[in-house]
């Protein structure tokens, strides 16, 4: 799965570079729910979006759960206490419906995506694109050839309204509102995100991509993505995320649900580069049926705090789940990332590979959970966590939780921590490299084996992004 393009095409892909993403346009919003969260906020969102009654009730039940649940303390960072939920805007939209042509996208929104290079990416190598601006998708389109094969790729609101029989069957089943406080928050105010359905046996050869852009200050983006690959189907989905640097806190709290039916394969790739004011609190989980495969490739750069632990529930016999994770924490940032694997059937396999880099006073944390309950047989898990510290004040922590109760199962865990010393940097500088170039070389060498698994269009950008982070961390 995945699709490679030539290097010349990469040079035009700028969507996740911090130097490109840090800009802001004044936009006249037609729809604004105001600050704070209450039942009135829910009613406003439902009325604007034309939600059916069952969604209105779903949202209000989720709001009750959110208000009842305290901030997590055991599996969380104290930075969560900095969030003031009463000073967040929960719904902002320039328009309610996405356009099918870039020419039809309102100018105030279109120039943002043109500056980020999204239309060019679509023309080069993507099978479909959705571009979300604050609370709603401004553009959504899929290649006609895929539509003829029955592939559905629309926003979550369109999915809910146009394909209710498929949407309702799986929505909220993989990640229920009660899963955690922020899943409940998303369930209450979700807007935007993608709905994808791939019919039995259809293999989508080119990636589908969504691009999530936060433009407004003091804003919360709560997209909800649901991807269903029917029996024997295959699909790769990529998402990119940016926001300008504001002085006020910005909240991003998404929920992603993946369903891989027997023999299906889903690959979900994220390369995010949030600005340092963003709290990125995301719940991502997949459900893999018999002989299905779900793979998360997750790259986290930027944000004030990221808490994200992509997971797979291995429901069917011989199902396979994999998480490949790269996290880079710079000064003033905490990347709290990891993975969760639940072996709910025999002969299931999971693989977790995590690499984190801590720069300056940045902190990277790996939190993992692998569960093989009693009665399971022939299950396998391999977990590998590697951390790289660049200087003496950066920090890394590893908290693996592995529970094995069945018989004849195999579990393996490896962890390493290494430091780039001043002597190593000095040696490379003597070879003609600048300090930033020397640090970048060390970091890229550390993550290179994982980056090779990324589609080329993202691996090139990831290297560029690391180079820019290194430049910003010196001097």
Q: What is the reported pLDDT for 100? A: 67
Summarised one tens digit per residue, pLDDT across range 189-210 is: 999 999 999 999 999 988 888 8
Read off the pLDDT of each residue in 70-79 and give the average, rounded to a whole number: 77
Q: Which of 12-16, 213-217, 400-404 has the lowest mean pLDDT?
A: 12-16
Q: What is the reported pLDDT for 391? A: 74
Read off the pLDDT of each residue in 239-252 and give the average, rounded to a whole number: 75
Q: Quickly state the pLDDT bin for 7 (edges 50, 70, 90).
A: very low
Q: What is the reported pLDDT for 113? A: 62
H-state helical runs in 117-272: 118-125, 144-148, 156-162, 164-170, 181-189
Average pLDDT, rounded, for the chain:
84
Task: Name the token pair of 18.
Answer: 């911090």
What is the C-alpha to C-alpha distance for residues 354 and 377, in angstroms, rounded to an integer?
26
Cα dihedral 276→278→279→284 (10° resolution): -110
What is the C-alpha to C-alpha distance for residues 128 and 149, in angstroms, rounded to an integer?
14
CA-closest candidate to residue 75, choices 169, 180, 165: 180
Residue 233 has pLDDT above 60, yes or no: yes
Cα angle, residue 354 at apex, residues 444 and 71 outer, rounded to 5° = 120
435-451 helix and 422-430 helix, angle to the nearest 10 degrees? 110
Q: For the beta carbon of residue 200, count every other beta carbon within 10 angstroms.
A: 14
Q: What is the reported pLDDT for 29? A: 66
Residue by residue, DSSP assigns 312-340 as EEE-STT-EEEEEEEEEE-TT-EEEEEEE
Q: What is the reported pLDDT for 4? A: 38
Summarised one tens digit per residue, pLDDT across range 339-386 is: 999 999 999 999 999 999 998 888 999 999 999 999 999 999 999 999
- Percent of the chain, pLDDT > 90? 47
Tell me the domain boundaries of the chain: 7-472
Q: What is the reported pLDDT for 470? A: 76
Residue 247 has pLDDT above 90, yes or no: no
Cα angle, residue 353 at apex, residues 349 and 359 outer, rounded to 5° = 165
Q: Which of 1-10, 52-61, 92-101 has the lowest mean pLDDT?
A: 1-10
* H/E element, 10: helix 7-10
The tally of CA atoms less than 13 A away on the side-chain side of residue 342 is 14
Summarised one tens digit per residue, pLDDT across range 33-45 is: 889 999 999 999 9
Summarised one tens digit per residue, pLDDT across range 254-299 is: 999 999 999 999 999 988 878 888 899 999 999 999 999 999 999 8
Q: What is the reported pLDDT for 9? A: 35
Q: What is the reported pLDDT for 95? A: 67
Strands 250-252 and 220-221, bridge-based pairing: parallel
Q: What is the reported pLDDT for 457? A: 65
H-state helical runs in 312-455: 422-430, 435-451
Which residues are paired to 131 by β-bridges?
Answer: 139, 211
Greater pLDDT, 228 or 128? 228
What is the C-alpha to C-alpha distance for residues 311 and 381, in angstroms, rounded to an integer?
13
E strands, 192-333, are 194-198, 208-213, 220-221, 224-229, 234-242, 250-252, 255-260, 265-274, 278-288, 293-302, 305-308, 311-314, 320-329
Read off the pLDDT of each residue in 391-410 and give the average, rounded to a whole number: 83
Summarised one tens digit per residue, pLDDT across range 55-66 is: 999 999 999 999
Read off the pLDDT of each residue in 395-404 and give the average, rounded to a whole number: 86
Read off the pLDDT of each residue in 15-19 and give the average, rounded to a whole number: 43
Q: What is the reported pLDDT for 435? A: 83
Q: What is the reported pLDDT for 6? A: 36
């Amino acid at each position: 799965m995945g699709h490679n393009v030539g290097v010349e095409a990469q040079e035009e892909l700028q969507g996740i570079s911090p130097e490109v993403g840090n800009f802001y346009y004044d936009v006249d919003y037609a729809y604004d729910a105001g600050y704070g969260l209450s039942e009135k906020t829910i009613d406003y969102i439902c009325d604007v979006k034309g939600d059916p009654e069952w969604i209105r009730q779903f949202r209000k039940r989720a709001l009750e759960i959110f208000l009842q649940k305290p901030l997590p303390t055991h599996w969380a960072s104290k930075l969560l206490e900095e969030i003031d939920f009463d000073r967040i805007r929960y719904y902002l939209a320039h328009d309610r419906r996405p356009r099918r042509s870039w020419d039809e996208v309102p100018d105030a929104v279109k120039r943002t995506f043109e500056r980020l290079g999204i239309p060019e990416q679509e023309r080069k190598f993507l099978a479909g694109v959705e571009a979300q601006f604050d609370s709603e998708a401004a553009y959504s389109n899929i290649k006609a050839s895929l539509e003829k094969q029955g592939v559905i790729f629309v926003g979550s609101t369109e999915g809910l309204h146009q394909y209710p029989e498929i949407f309702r069957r799986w929505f909220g089943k993989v990640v229920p509102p009660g899963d955690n406080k922020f899943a409940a928050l998303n369930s209450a105010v979700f807007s935007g995100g993608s709905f994808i359905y791939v019919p039995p046996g259809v293999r989508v050869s080119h990636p589908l991509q969504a691009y999530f852009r936060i433009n407004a200050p003091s804003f919360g983006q709560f997209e909800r993505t649901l991807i269903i690959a029917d029996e024997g189907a295959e699909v790769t989905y990529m998402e990119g995320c940016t926001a300008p640097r504001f002085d006020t806190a910005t909240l991003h709290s998404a929920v992603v649900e993946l369903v891989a039916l027997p023999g299906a394969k889903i690959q979900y790739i994220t390369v995010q580069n949030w600005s340092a004011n963003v709290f990125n609190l995301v719940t991502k989980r997949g459900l893999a049926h018999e002989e299905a495969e779900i793979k998360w490739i997750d790259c986290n750069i930027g944000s004030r705090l990221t808490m994200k632990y992509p997971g797979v529930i291995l429901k069917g016999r011989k199902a396979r789940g994999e998480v490949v994770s790269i996290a880079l924490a710079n000064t003033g940032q905490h990347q709290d990332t990891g993975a969760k694997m639940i072996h709910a059937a025999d002969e299931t396999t999971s693989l977790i590979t995590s690499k984190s880099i801590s720069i300056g006073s940045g902190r990277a944390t790996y939190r993992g959970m692998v569960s093989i309950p009693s009665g399971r047989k022939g299950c396998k898990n391999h977990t590998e966590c590697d951390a790289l510290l660049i200087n003496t004040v950066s920090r890394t922590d590893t908290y693996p939780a592995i529970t094995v109760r069945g018989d004849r199962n195999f579990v393996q865990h490896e962890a390493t921590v290494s430091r780039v010393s001043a002597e190593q940097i000095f040696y490379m500088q003597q070879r003609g490299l600048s300090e930033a170039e020397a640090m970048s070389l060390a970091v890229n060498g550390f993550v290179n084996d994982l980056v090779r698994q990324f589609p080329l269009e993202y691996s090139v950008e990831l290297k560029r992004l690391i180079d820019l982070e290194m430049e910003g961390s010196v001097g």
